Amino acid sequence: MKITIAQLNPVVGDIDGNLKKALQVLPQAHQDSSDLVVFPELFLTGYPPRDLLERSWFVERTQAALDALTKVSADLPRTGILIGAPQLTGKDTGNGLYNSALLIYEGQVLFRQHKSLLPTYDVFDEARYFDTAPQILVTPFKDDRLGIAICEDAWNDPELWKPRTYSFDPVEKLISQGATILINISASPFHAGKDKVRYGIMQNHSNKNHVPSVFVNQVGGNDELLFDGRSMCFDSNGDPIVILSAFEENVRTVDLAAAGKPDSYMPLDTIASVHDALVMGIRDYMDKCGFSSTVLGLSGGIDSAVTCCLAVESLGREKVLGVSMPSPYSSKGSVDDSRKLAENLGIRFKVIPISSIYTSYLDSLKEHFEGRTSDITEENFQARIRGNILMGLSNKFGHLLLSTGNKSELAVGYCTLYGDMAGGLSVISDVPKTMVYQLAHYINRQSEIIPGEIIEKPPSAELKPDQKDQDSLPPYDVLDRILQYYVDEHYSLQEIVKLGFDPEVVTWVIKAVDKSEYKRKQAPPGLKVTSKAFGTGRRMVIAAKYDV
């Protein structure tokens, strides 16, 4: 069987646009004598559609698009269509919708397979919207029997997961019914290293069951979620026939009768993949939200430098404005280094000093603060002044303001509400500080774009004389490892200390993470590149009291 993989980038909610994108693929697939064109999970609505699914008109429009697609298929003899869309259950109980894959052929819907395993962990909340499939069946199509699974349905192989999240394995059920081809349509979000996990899962299905398998994944950015694609096909021995590129649309017709090539898989490089994911995420967030230009503050530090480089790579230099806003405590190097970065990138660059505004703040509040020593309050005035200036430029010229804080700072609250946290998109908020340095070196892999002075200088907020981040924080390599254990892997204080960390440092980090929850609730959306990002995938209470 010849399969056309349609690794495409849908826009959530744009049913007509997604239908048009699907229709554009069909003529070439038909010309290639493709037997079946396979689109990703919930392609017509885009993934994740979230509470749009609770609106009846939205579901009705999706059905109208399916009807239109079915009608078009009548003019494509020999070429079937497999596409993801929500379907009404027709029941009086439950959520009333299935997450479905529809097999369309010659003007008819031949078969519907609904999703069985509905994830409710991390960023997923599918049980909020969908009901579980009442049954799992294979379907005959041409000379084969298709075993169709939807994303999570392929992720419960008992040989891979202990303990298992679900009580049964849909793929096992399909194989027991005589499936000769396994097809998985997915909207599987990216995080660093995930492509290796997916590869292992899909390869294992083919290798263990001795049938070809096809995995078709969505690509693109939808809010904080980034989808890398990396769709793939395996022969019945588990050898890859084709693995599509990451972070870009790709349509490929594949003959499943072809022999795969053992050892041809190359996993994505961690830092290169994070870089490319962030570049794609900025571009898609801008395009899908209707912005055409960006503004960001350039502090002379590594975080804003990396964010600026990512923005230029994503959008082009003409669409990026960098702004340096020196205060009384800014070093000469912070402005000079920012200017040099801007020159290297060829972006527009402004210098707007804030010393007089800062003095005005102090004078206005002098009598109200009488008798109290200067502290973090006055330091934060500077960050908030900068935030206001950047938001003013955003409002006046329609730029999207990019926030430049990293995951390490956001974790422990080393950031200022309504100051450096201001913005419409927080680009590196899921990138630990140590990884920020790795990204900087990757950006400079061919030539110096980020000045060496920026990479080499000790990190500083420059909100008071001779300030350094390490005056307030543990060394970033230590901090990031503790955060990995506490935030990502849910270790307790005692478990982390047993790994050899200083108990006082661990205690401080955990308390800082927990008491900063209210800040993160007010942060801009951030692009997810690790296995556990702050945002929709981490739901912690603010008003709470507990020991870890």
Distance CA 101, CA 280 (A): 27
Q: What is the pLDDT of residue 507?
A: 96
Query: Residues 29, 78: contact at Cβ < 8 Å?
Result: no
pLDDT average, residue stretch 309-333: 94
Q: What pLDDT sits at residue 350?
A: 97
Amino acid, single-letter form, for residue 269: D
pLDDT at 167: 84
Q: Mind listing the pLDDT tens digit for each residue in 16-51?
A: 999 999 999 999 999 999 999 999 999 999 999 999
Q: Give the bridge partners for 296, in sequence order.
A: 322
Residues 226/190, Cβ–Cβ less than 8 Å: yes
Rounded Cα distance between 260 and 505, Å, is 51
| Distance of alpha carbon 548 from alpha carbon 247, whole angstroms | 39
pLDDT tens for 395-422 read 999 999 999 999 999 999 999 999 999 9
Give the DSSP H/E element, type plus range, for residue 16: helix 15-31
Q: Average of pLDDT values for 367-374?
A: 94
Looking at 21, 126, 151, 379, which residue is catalytic?
151
Say what the pLDDT of residue 473 is: 87
Q: How far apart are CA 160 and CA 156, in angstroms?
A: 7
> Given this model, what pLDDT does residue 544 score?
86
Give the single-character DSSP code of 399: P
- Read off the tokens for 310: 């990512």
DSSP notation for 516-542: THHHHTTSPPB---SSS-SBTTB---S
Q: Which residue, chain included where needed, has tokens 């660093």?
A: 192
Whole-number pLDDT of residue 467: 63
Helix, strand counts (H, E) of the chain? 16, 19
Please report which confidence band the pLDDT of residue 116 belongs to, taking 50, 70 and 90 as the band edges. Answer: very high
| Whole-number pLDDT of residue 429 | 97
Q: 144 in helix, strand or coil? A: strand
**Known catalytic residue at 498:** no
pLDDT confidence of residue 453: 94
On the question of pLDDT at 462 being above 80, the answer is no
Predicted TM-score (pTM) of this structure: 0.95
Active-site position among 21, 41, 308, 309: 41
Cα distances (angstroms) measured from residue 154 to each of 160, 185, 197, 262, 330: 11, 10, 12, 22, 54
Closest CA to 433 of 300, 311, 268, 302: 302
Q: Diameter of the chain by CA atoms?
A: 86
Is a pLDDT exceeding 80 seen at residue 91? yes
* 123 token code pair: 């960023």
Confirm if 34 and 273 have CB atoms less than 8 A apart. Answer: no
Tokens (6 digits) for 20: 């048009």
Q: What is the pLDDT of residue 331?
A: 81
Q: Which long-range contacts (CB under 8 A, 24 or more apart) does 394-400 make?
A: 394/295, 394/424, 397/293, 397/295, 398/291, 398/292, 398/293, 399/291, 399/293, 399/294, 399/295, 399/321, 400/285, 400/286, 400/289, 400/291, 400/293, 400/294, 400/295, 400/424, 400/425
Q: Which amino acid is at 230?
A: R
Q: What is the pLDDT of residue 6?
A: 98
Distance CA 423, CA 402 (A): 5
Across the strands, what pairs with 217? 186
For residue 313, indicate whether it is catalytic. Answer: no
**CA distance linking residue 13 with residue 18, whole number of Å:** 9
Give me the percent of the chain exceeding a pLDDT of 90.
90
* Distance separating alpha carbons of residues 214 and 202, to the nearest angstrom: 8
What is the tens place of the pLDDT at every residue in 126-161? 999 999 999 999 999 999 999 999 999 999 877 666
What end-to-end distance do the CA atoms of the chain give, in Å?
55
**Residues 212-269 pLDDT 10s:** 999 999 999 999 999 999 999 999 999 999 999 999 999 999 999 999 999 889 999 9
* pLDDT attached to residue 311: 98
CATH 3.40.309.10 for domain 274-469: no
Residue 466: predicted pLDDT:
67
Q: Where residue 463 falls among pLDDT bands split at 50, 70, 90? A: low
* Whole-number pLDDT of residue 465: 67
Span 530-538, mean pLDDT? 92
Residue 54 has pLDDT above 90, yes or no: yes
Domain positions in the chain = 2-268, 274-469
Render pLDDT for 268-289 as a digit per residue (tens, 0 to 9): 999 999 999 999 999 999 999 9
| Per-residue b or e along 428-454, where b marks 16 or more CB atoms closer than 10 Å to that residue's CB | bbbbbbbbbbbbbebbbeeeebbbeeb
Q: For residue 154, which amino acid is it?
A: A
Other CB atoms within a 10 A radius of the CB of residue 291 amount to: 18
Helices assigned H by DSSP within 86-168? none
- pLDDT above 70: percentage of residues in the chain: 97
User: Tens of pLDDT along 190-214?
Assistant: 999 999 999 999 999 999 999 999 9
Whether the CB-CB separation of 384 and 376 falls below 8 Å is answered with: no
- pLDDT score of 472 more than 90: no
Helix (H, G, I), strand (E, B) or coil at 205: helix
pLDDT at 162 over 80: no
Marked catalytic residue, from 115, 340, 407, 519: 115
What SS3 string covers 413-467?
CCCCCCCCCCCCEECCCCCCHHHHHHHHHHHCCCCCCCCHHHHHCCCCCCCCCCC
Distance CA 387, CA 47 (A): 32
Tell whether the model's pLDDT for residue 163 goes beyond 70: yes
pLDDT tens for 485-504 read: 999 999 999 999 999 999 99
List the single range of 100-104, 192-196, 245-249, 329-333 with lowest mean pLDDT.
Answer: 329-333
pLDDT at 166 > cutoff 90: no
**Confidence (pLDDT) at 199:** 95
Domain 2-268 -> CATH class: alpha beta
Please give the distance of CA 264 from its chain centroid, rounded to a whole number: 27
In the residue annotation, 332 being an active-site residue is answered as no
Average pLDDT across the chain, whole number = 95
pLDDT of residue 40: 98
